[in-house]
Structure 1
């Protein structure tokens, strides 16, 4: 039986809260609400979109407060930053150190995290051969998800 989106979000939040408790991290109400907004988005979400999502619950929140919450979530592996969009997505494996690549749909904005330490290692190990020292690695692939690709082919076929 398929789980509902609400159940999926609740499981992700429970996992994040358990990780925070296990590691003595303070998942304050604001940090929790920011994380919830990112999980609920299902696509990369920017800081100002998070502000908009928080407004019904918290009223006006200063942007610096949300940025501090995002910095905490990023530093402790709850979320990833999508550099090309200046936005955030919930980590698929909170509490498990990993390198990730991201598949991002140009049509609907859906973003899929693909953990891949082996691929990240290959990239990092090839850099010194070119005299390059890697400090941070971000791999973002853009294209069309299956639904958008199918819709694109259908519209081209009918044209």
Structure 2
């Protein structure tokens, strides 16, 4: 039996709440709503998209409030920032130290995190060998997700 997107979201939200409780982090209603909005999207979401998503529930929220909320979620490992999009995606492994890479679809913007300390370690060791000092490492791969690649093949096959 397949797990629905809503069930998957509920499981991930419950995991986030348990992590927050275990570590004494205040997952306030606003923080929970922002995190839930990010979870609901299968793509990276920008701060202003989050403001729009919150408006029906909370009314107009100042952008600084959402940015502070995003800072909390980032600092505590609930979300990652997608540098190329200036947007945010839910972490696939809350509470598990890891370094991830991101697959970003150019067509539909679906964003998938792939945990992989091995690649991150390899990159981290290669840079110093070249005399380069790494301050932050972000790996984002852009291309087409499977459904978009399939649709693109169909588009090119049509007369």
- TM bucket (normalised to shorter chain) is over 0.9
The CA deviation at 1:142 is 0.2
- Write out the 4+ residue segments of structure 1 that deviate beyond 3 Å after TM superposition: none
The CA deviation at 1:70 is 0.1
Q: Give the Cα–Cα distance (whole angstroms) in 2 for the partners of residues 30 and 147 of structure 1.
A: 33
Residue of structure 2 in register with 1:77 after alignment: 77
Residue of structure 2 in register with 1:141 after alignment: 141
**Aligned ranges for residues 62-141 of structure 1 at < 5 Å?**
62-141=62-141
The CA deviation at 1:130 is 1.1
Residue of structure 2 in register with 1:38 after alignment: 38
The CA deviation at 1:6 is 1.1
* Equivalent residues, number: 159
Q: Give the Cα–Cα distance (whole angstroms) in 1 for the partners of residues 116 and 6 of structure 2.
A: 28
The CA deviation at 1:18 is 0.2
Q: Deviations over 1:26-75 (max 9, x none)?
A: 10111000000000011100000000000000000000000000000000
Unaligned runs of 5+ residues in structure 1 are: none
TM-score w.r.t. length of structure 1: 0.99
Q: Secondary structure at the match of 1:103?
A: strand
Q: Give the Cα–Cα distance (whole angstroms) in 1 for the partners of residues 152 and 127 of structure 2.
A: 37
Q: Deviations over 1:55-108 (max 9, x none)?
A: 000000000000000000000000000000000000000010100000111111
Unaligned runs of 5+ residues in structure 2 are: none
